[in-house]
A and B are shown apart, each in its own frame.
Chain A
Amino acid sequence: MMSEGTSRGTVALYATLTLVAGLMLLPFAWVFFGAFKSQAEILAAPGAWLPRSFTDFSNFVELFARRQFGTYLGNSLVVSGLTVVSNVFFSSLAGYALAKIPFRGSRFVFGCIIAAMMIPYIALFVPSFFIIVQMGLLNTLTGIFLPIAVMPIGVFIMRQFALSVPNELLEAARLDGAGEFRIFFSIFLPLVGPAIATVAIITFLNSWNYFLWPLIVAQNQDTFTLPVGLAVASQGAKSTEYGLLLSGAIIVLLPVLILFVFLQRYFVRGIAATGLK
């Protein structure tokens, strides 16, 4: 390994990394500065960087008071909350069974997981829409949530983690006559905390950022999630309303940014798990 000196190469490396990082973070600067601009400011100088004041929250007030962003936020929280709880529970169950209970058909189930991860949902949203209509779930939060209630990626991650749980612990409990349900709840679950955190983060992220499916299932403002509400607002918007739209973008971004600051390693671990084994 190269040693970390103050050679010219190291300086150039840091300069380049800082420049690229700055470019990557630039859109976040735009959104935070733009959200505090009034319509008059945007009209006068659309390209100006800094807003006149950072304490003018009138855009946010307008979104909640007159644009139903409160409803959208509530819907997004309900959908994401249900998604996280359901995925953590059901993918732990499935991951445990696949890794720790030898049974005929486990290879078939694993094949289904791989197939589900490979097939892009963009290819299936039209027929899935039919099914939701037939189930009478069009324009409901249940209809938005149900297809992602047990995501293959969650089961996959839980299975990979479950493989590393030592068999001896489970076997000992089995010899004592404990059933699989008891082993699952009292021995397995307490051992896989980090896996549960990873699955919770990944499925929260997926459901919070979920766009195309809620766009077609939600038919009016009462069932819009935040991304759908923001997209619809941006399509009818005048260019002077950018301050308002950027404030909406902040409301969508903030929960994920806060989670990322505190739980970064689980995000990265989730990506590494999806990619490498």
Chain B
Amino acid sequence: MSHVDIRHRQPSGWRSATAWIFVAPFLVIFFVFTAIPALIALIYSFTDIGVADIRHPLQVHFTFLDTFARVLTNAGFLKSLVTTGIFVVVGVPLTMAIGLALALALNSGIKRLRATYRAAFYLPVITNIVAAAVIWQYAFTLRGPVNTFLAELGLQGPNWLGNPNMAITTVILLTTWRNVGTCMVLFLAGLQGIPADVHEAAAIDGASAPRRFLHITLPLLKPATLLVTVLMTVSYMNIFDEPYLLTKGGPLGATRSVALWVYEQFGHGNIASAMAGSYVMLVIVAVLGILQLRMLRAAS
């Protein structure tokens, strides 16, 4: 109704133009640093571009699927895919389970100290990763505070960062520590959306706490769960900072994720391999993301 009045005062063409001016800065940055790079990466994945070509990007040879074939048969790349898979398969459920448990505990009716606990669980999320990695390197060295504490308990502490399996464990511990707070906040928001009377009715009907959790809380929490799954999967798939800073991908390449492999190829000047590798990753993330979002939409 009022819409018609406005048209009399200001031509809608002028208002559209204003709207485009308002969104222009976002669009410019989006095209220059997201859309065009995505296109460049796709095009150059089909070439033999190397570091010498960066300043003359038009003088490269099209080699079509050679680069993809080379990347997809590269033992280092395949190993990094498996390593990333381990991070996702172990890290995502672990982080989500702890996040959900903390959210349930905070939502169970306690009043005292609730904000303090929430702040403590959330603090690692905003911690700078370089600072966190420095702390963890110090804490988990052979004779650092962690092993000193274990020794006081009479336990022999492992070589956390020097042994391949322990290094993966330490990287996952650091990543979990930094992501639990995000899961907790999102689960807590989901839990607060569940009406209390549903629980009370079930309790009056004699349903036990575990039964109420399984049959009421979990189903009603499905949208939040799927959302957290998408967020955590994407963030573990792209894991770079933690293994780069904590272990440099070592020992023996045990913690080298795909993102770290791409970074190393870039560092060695194998630009085409780096771009093809990141594209493989982008496609995997996109497919997983779309699948999970479909489920999210179906659930909500």
Contact = CB atoms under 8 A, between A and B. Distances in A.
Interface of A: 1-4, 10, 13-14, 16-17, 20-21, 24-25, 27-28, 30-31, 34, 46-49, 90-91, 93-94, 96-98, 101-106, 109, 112-113, 115-116, 118-120, 122-131, 133-134, 146-147, 149-150, 152, 155, 167, 171, 174-175, 177, 179-181, 184, 205, 208-209, 211-212, 216, 227-228, 230-231, 234, 239, 242, 245-246, 248-250, 252-253, 256-257, 260, 264, 267-268, 271-272, 275-276
A140 B250 CA distance: 31
Interface residues of B, number: 108
13 contacts: A4-B110, A27-B139, A46-B141, A120-B285, A126-B274, A127-B44, A175-B9, A212-B241, A234-B130, A242-B138, A246-B135, A252-B131, A268-B122
A21 B38 contact: no
B123 A227 contact: no
Contacts of B289: 118
B213 interface: no
Interface in B1-60: 2-3, 5-6, 9-10, 15-16, 18-20, 22-23, 25-27, 29-30, 32-38, 40-41, 44, 54-55, 57
B130 A231 contact: yes
B36 A211 contact: no
Contacts of A264: 115, 119, 122
Contacts of A231: 130, 133, 245
B20 A174 contact: no
B136 A94 contact: no
A28 B18 contact: no
A97 to B, nearest CB: 4
A175 B5 contact: yes
Given A103-B15, A152-B30, A260-B123, A126 B2 contact: no
B25 A90 contact: yes
A119 B118 CA distance: 30
A177 B23 CA distance: 22
Contact of A122 (B151, B231, B238): B238
B126 A256 contact: yes
Given A124-B33, A127-B275, A231-B245, 11 more contacts: A13-B105, A47-B151, A105-B20, A120-B285, A123-B278, A126-B262, A130-B54, A180-B15, A231-B130, A249-B131, A268-B122
Given A93-B23, A150-B29, A4 B128 contact: no
A122 B148 contact: no
Contact of A181 (B18, B108, B145): B18
B23 A31 contact: no
Given A20-B121, A101-B15, A230 B6 contact: no
A252 B282 CA distance: 31
A109 B177 contact: no
Given A24-B121, A128-B33, A252-B131, A90 B26 contact: yes
Contacts of B30: 112, 116, 150, 152
Nearest to B1: A171
